[in-house]
A = this chain, B = another copy of it.
Amino acid sequence: MTTAEPEFLTATRTFYDAVAADYADRYRDALAAMPWDRALLGVLAELVTTAGGGRVADLGCGPGRITGHLADLGLDVCGLDLSPRMVELARAAHPAIPFATGSLLDLPYQDGELAGAVAWYSIIHTPAGELPRVFAEFRRVLAPGAPLLLAFQAGDDVLRLDRPFGRPVALDFRRGRPERIEALAGAAGLTVTTRLVREPEPDERTPQAYLLAHRAA
């Protein structure tokens, strides 16, 4: 007897497998034009390094562009993604970084193993009812005091992305109110210490939110 996978996991994997190559091309150099994203990732890297370093996971890493950036900042990184095709691309682009296939709902790390984590627009495909489990996993795998940096589209609604890059797939992109995401983190034992919201750039549809949280020391 096996437990059926939740439908949203199947949909998310199918979607990103289908668009992986287009997505990797589209976003490969995007960070260069995103000073806020680099600033926030830089702060995370500095916090981890100042605290003595250790393994940092990019949770929902896609083709590994953020993972690679964090490695360039001197971190000992690894990446995790639900989509095997994304993981293939990430490995090809960053042969020195370990990437694995897996889900935010069941992270393949030991309790307290991580010195830091990034979830860069990766909580946005999980239905609200499953997010407490995701945040419980984030907390479980972080070492005491370790930081978690979240990025997501700010808002209340859901964007249904249909046939992106012309591919025959569709997926829900769930915006989050920063206060709601902060409450979820707090309920899981992660304390948010920095909140940033910026207005959309011309190619973005919503304000962008970033939260830095810490597991209690």
A interface list, Cβ under 8 A from B = 35-36, 39-40, 42-43, 46-47, 50, 193-199, 212
Contact = CB atoms under 8 A, between A and B. Distances in A.
A196 B193 contact: no
Question: How many copies of the chain does the oligomer comprise?
Answer: 2
A39 B45 CA distance: 12
Contacts of A36: 43, 194
A196 B199 CA distance: 12
Contacts of A194: 36, 196-199
Contacts of A196: 194-196
Contacts of A199: 193-194
A53 to B, nearest CB: 15
23 contacts: A35-B42, A35-B43, A35-B46, A35-B47, A35-B50, A36-B43, A36-B194, A39-B39, A39-B40, A39-B42, A39-B43, A42-B42, A193-B198, A193-B199, A194-B196, A194-B197, A194-B198, A194-B199, A195-B196, A195-B197, A195-B198, A196-B196, A198-B212
